[in-house]
Structure 1
Amino acid sequence: MTPQEAADQTEIDPTVPPSGTGCAECLDTGGWWVHLRRCAACGHVGCCDTSPAQHATAHFQATGHPIIRSFEPGEGWYFDYRTSRMSNGPELAPPACHPESQPVPGPEGNVPTDWQAHLN
């Protein structure tokens, strides 16, 4: 483990469950996302930077929580906003991803038919 990875471990709380199965803000406002990211400190689930609203990055900017983990099935990578580097990390409290039955992009019913024209 590198010194940076060791420092990152103090900003990861593996006991905190995710805030839900989708982007908290998109679900509140009727928005939609491409992929989901989970804050490793508090469990907030937000949408990725390809998504129109980029709520995961907005969460980092608002809270200072720098480490996220993919919330996609089959992905376990971490990302540090401060360094723009990916890394590995500990297992987090379940669930590790959104339900596999949930469509990508999602949520079902909110994604416009021309969704690809709205990507960042």
Structure 2
Amino acid sequence: MTTCGHLDQVRDVAPDSTAGCSDCLAIGSRWVHLRMCLSCGHVACCDSSPNRHATAHSTGTSHPVIRSMEPGEDWRWCYVDRTVV
């Protein structure tokens, strides 16, 4: 079982958007599911979405941990360790 060594980067943050994927909204695109960065609160779309903004955000900022923004879901994912945390 893989463990995550990045939980120290998780912050108590508020989402930067409640309307949807911040990046998709800016370019007029669509998304499938939403994720929130737990380092800065950036809301972005999942890898099933056309633009994969959550992964792009993590890669561009080195923010490792996201959580699902979908109703009824409470999981978190670490991009670096590639595991649910």
| TM-score past 0.5 threshold | yes
In structure 2, what is the equivalent of residue 43 of structure 1? Answer: 41
In structure 1, what is the equivalent of residue 75 of structure 2? Answer: 77
Q: Which of 2, 17, 21 pairs up with 1:20?
A: 17
Larger-Rg structure: 1
Q: Structure 1: which 5+ residue stretches go unaligned?
A: 88-120
**Deviation of 1:83 (Å):** 1.6
1:8-29 CA distance string (max 9 Å, x none)? 3211001x10011210010011
Question: Structure 1 length normalisation: TM-score?
Answer: 0.65
Distance in 2, Cα, partners of 1:41 & 1:28: 21
Question: Structure 2 length normalisation: TM-score?
Answer: 0.91
Moved over 3 A (4+): none
Q: How many residues align?
A: 82
**Deviation of 1:63 (Å):** 0.1
Please give the residue correspondences for 1:52-67 in structure 2 after superposition, counting only pairs within 5 Å: 52-67=50-65
Q: CA RMSD in A?
A: 1.0
- The structure with more strand, counted as a fraction of residues: 2
Distance in 2, Cα, partners of 1:41 & 1:71: 15
**Deviation of 1:82 (Å):** 1.0
Percent of aligned pairs sharing the same letter: 49
